[in-house]
């Protein structure tokens, strides 16, 4: 819907209960109120994909590994090869565990798909 102008105001009065439902649904979609309303108006089905807390934990661990790899690269580039090797050896177990969890996630992602109606 590019190049569309919105020059018509529209207001609605809702009860507290209806407003709570509205807020929950449009926020779950991560759309603006206007975009959510326009999609509903056009009869679009709006699907919400949400990940469990487990994926947030996995993401955090992957970021930590990335930080560790950067630190190892700095050590290696600064000529501290033995310290870099020691760091690689110490993080190998946690790297292997995270990669196994990532593989399990990719094989069967714990995604909850819900339709907002």
> pLDDT, tens digit, for every residue of 13-36?
999 999 998 888 888 888 888 888
Greatest CA span in the chain, whole angstroms?
A: 69
Average pLDDT of the residues of the chain: 82
Q: Which helix (H) or strand (E) holds 18?
A: helix 16-29
| pTM of structure | 0.45
**So what's the pLDDT on residue 8?**
86
Q: What residues pair up with 112 in beta bridges, in sequence order?
A: 50
**So what's the pLDDT on residue 95?**
86
Instruction: Yes or no: say if 49 and 111 are a contact pair by the CB < 8 Å rule.
Output: yes
Q: Which helix (H) or strand (E) holds 115?
A: strand 111-116
């Amino acid at each position: 819907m590019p190049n569309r102008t919105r020059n018509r105001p529209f207001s609605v009065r809702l009860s507290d209960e209806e407003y709570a439902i509205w807020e929950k649904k449009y926020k779950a979609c991560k759309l603006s109120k206007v975009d959510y309303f326009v999609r509903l108006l056009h009869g679009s089905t709006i699907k919400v994909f949400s990940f469990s807390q487990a994926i947030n934990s996995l993401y955090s661990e992957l970021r930590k590994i990335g930080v560790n790899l950067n630190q190892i690269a700095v050590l290696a580039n600064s000529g501290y090869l033995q310290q870099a090797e020691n760091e690689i050896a110490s993080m190998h177990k946690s790297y292997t565990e995270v990669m196994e969890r990532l593989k399990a996630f990719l094989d069967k992602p714990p995604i909850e798909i819900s339709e907002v109606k």
